[in-house]
Amino acid sequence: MTAEKPLATLPFRADHVGSLLRPLPLLEARDKVAASELDRTALRKVEDEAIRAAVRLQDETGIRSCTDGEYRRTYFHIDFLEQLSGVSTQGGMTLSFHTHTGKVDFAPPVMRVNGRVEHVRSIQGPDFEFLKSVVSPRQTPKVSIPSPTMLHFRGGRAAISSEVYPDLEGFFADVATAYQKELRSLAALGCRYVQLDDTNLAYLCDEHMRAGARDRGDDPSELPRRYAKLINAAIADKPKDMTVCVHLCRGNFKSAWAAEGGYEPVAEVLFNELNVDGYFLEYDDERSGGFAPLRFVPKAKRVVLGLVSSKLPQLESKDSLRKRIDEAARYVPLDQLCLSPQCGFSSTVHGNAITPEVQSAKLRLVVETAQAVWGEA
């Protein structure tokens, strides 16, 4: 008889997705670099100081999972992916995001695969080394990187050179190998907590996004399984003591989102075929659907309920959060649940429409609620 896998100790009962509002001096320094008034070395020093402050902020709020706020990035995904050989960016693809009061357009650069995808150097290694050097003894440094699916979904086959990859299986294999190398480089530096940020599995819960996938020639009912296979290959060689979680995001730009819909269309594959240790799930409002898909969660995995909005300034009440946690516990044992904001506070450099004070209050709320529910954070 095979022994049952023990419940993971990460994510923490009180956790967070990772990105934080960029401080004004950092934004000003970035503008100076763009205007050729400041070089990259000087920018790095400004980033270092901002990250030290971000680490202190997380420590003061009681959050034990510590990131660098993604302060060295413009976008949560592009800055990482364009450092893979074979990946380039160009122009911009205008996307329409939704807010609680209307719509906002977003035009990030378009990623193209014009050569063999290869990992030529450690991408997050230097950033992790700095973060590790400044965290307090009670903090665990976490690295968030884009999911490997981010190179496929939005552009589909058309964004991947058919000359380089006449067969997409070769593309998926090379992407997985590149991620394996990145995770090995992080592991060698002592990193043991990694988060894959994935919009695409969440987008596949939205019928409009599923229709778009069909228009690009993909089968939206098969993509979750294809993506699970890709992610599993990407993390196959991780050390046993490295925790890898996935965050499902429906879009996060200036408090706006791109997709809606509950997790039911992807739930069985997400929870039973994806070999990650935990899930950060958005559950901040009605667009996220109900908790019933959590019935598929296996016993050895943790689910982080993103019940606290990182998009809206209103502070949730502890009572309402506890009630929603109780609702989720009807489908998955309370011991497997954790709490966090539903997304980052600044998935792009632009940030959400909240203040730094509200950001801190929301992180404290997550910690205080976790302590009240589980007796720990």
Domain membership flag for residue 27:
no
The whole-chain average pLDDT of the chain stands at 92
Report pLDDT digits (tens) over 63-76.
999 999 999 998 88
Q: What is the pLDDT of residue 287?
A: 80
175 φ/ψ angles, rounded to the nearest 5 degrees: -60, -45
Q: What is the pLDDT of residue 91?
A: 64
User: Could you give the CA distance from residue 268 to residue 275 in angstroms, rounded to a whole number?
Assistant: 12
Domain membership flag for residue 56:
no
CB-based contacts of 119, cutoff 8 Å, min separation 6 = 84, 85, 177, 178, 179, 181, 182
Q: What is the pLDDT of residue 105?
A: 64
CB atoms within 10 A of CB 234: 23
Domain membership flag for residue 107:
yes
User: Could you give the CA distance from residue 150 to residue 156 in angstroms, rounded to a whole number?
Assistant: 10
DSSP-derived pairing of the beta strands 193-198 and 243-248:
parallel
DSSP-derived pairing of the beta strands 103-106 and 95-98:
antiparallel
Report pLDDT digits (tens) over 135-166.
999 999 999 999 999 899 878 898 999 999 99
User: Could you give the CA distance from residue 289 to residue 309 in angstroms, rounded to a whole number?
Assistant: 15
Does the pLDDT value for residue 186 go beyond 90?
A: yes
Domain membership flag for residue 51:
no
pTM: 0.92
Q: Which residues pair with 87 in a beta bridge?
A: 113
CB atoms within 10 A of CB 219: 11
Domain membership flag for residue 86:
yes
User: Could you give the CA distance from residue 268 to residue 106 in angstroms, rounded to a whole number?
Assistant: 32
Domain membership flag for residue 181:
yes
Alpha helix stretches (DSSP H) within 158-310: 168-188, 200-203, 207-215, 223-234, 267-272
CB-based contact 338:370 (threshold 8 Å): yes
- State which H helix or E strand residue 40 sits in: helix 40-61
pLDDT-based confidence at residue 264 (cuts at 50, 70, 90): very high
- Give the highest mean pLDDT range of 253-267, 309-323, 347-361: 309-323
Report pLDDT digits (tens) over 211-247.
988 988 889 999 999 999 999 999 999 999 999 999 9
Indicate the SS3 state at residue 97. strand
Count of domains forming the chain:
1
82 φ/ψ angles, rounded to the nearest 5 degrees: -75, -5
Q: Which residues pair with 85 in a beta bridge?
A: 118
CB-based contact 51:130 (threshold 8 Å): yes
User: Could you give the CA distance from residue 29 to residue 231 in angstroms, rounded to a whole number?
Assistant: 36
Instruction: Report the percentage of the chain scoring pLDDT > 90.
Output: 77
Does the pLDDT value for residue 121 go beyond 50?
A: yes
313 φ/ψ angles, rounded to the nearest 5 degrees: -80, -20
Half-sphere exposure of 321 (CA within 13 A, CB side): 28
Residue whose entry in the numeric block shows the structure tokens 């109780």: 326
| Domain span including residue 325 | 64-374
User: Could you give the CA distance from residue 240 to residue 242 in angstroms, rounded to a whole number?
Assistant: 6
Residue whose entry in the numeric block shows the structure tokens 């023990």: 6
Q: What's the mean pLDDT in 99-127?
A: 84
State the sign of the Cα–Cα–Cα–Cα dihedral 53, 349, 209, 243.
Answer: negative
Domain membership flag for residue 194:
yes
CB atoms within 10 A of CB 205: 26
Write the CATH number for 153. 3.20.20.210
> How far, rounded to the nearest angstrom, does the alpha carbon of residue 356 sit from its chain's CA centroid?
20
Which amino acid is residue 106, in one-letter code? F
Domain membership flag for residue 28:
no
Residue whose entry in the numeric block shows the structure tokens 């609680």: 100
User: Could you give the CA distance from residue 365 to residue 317 in angstroms, rounded to a whole number?
Assistant: 8
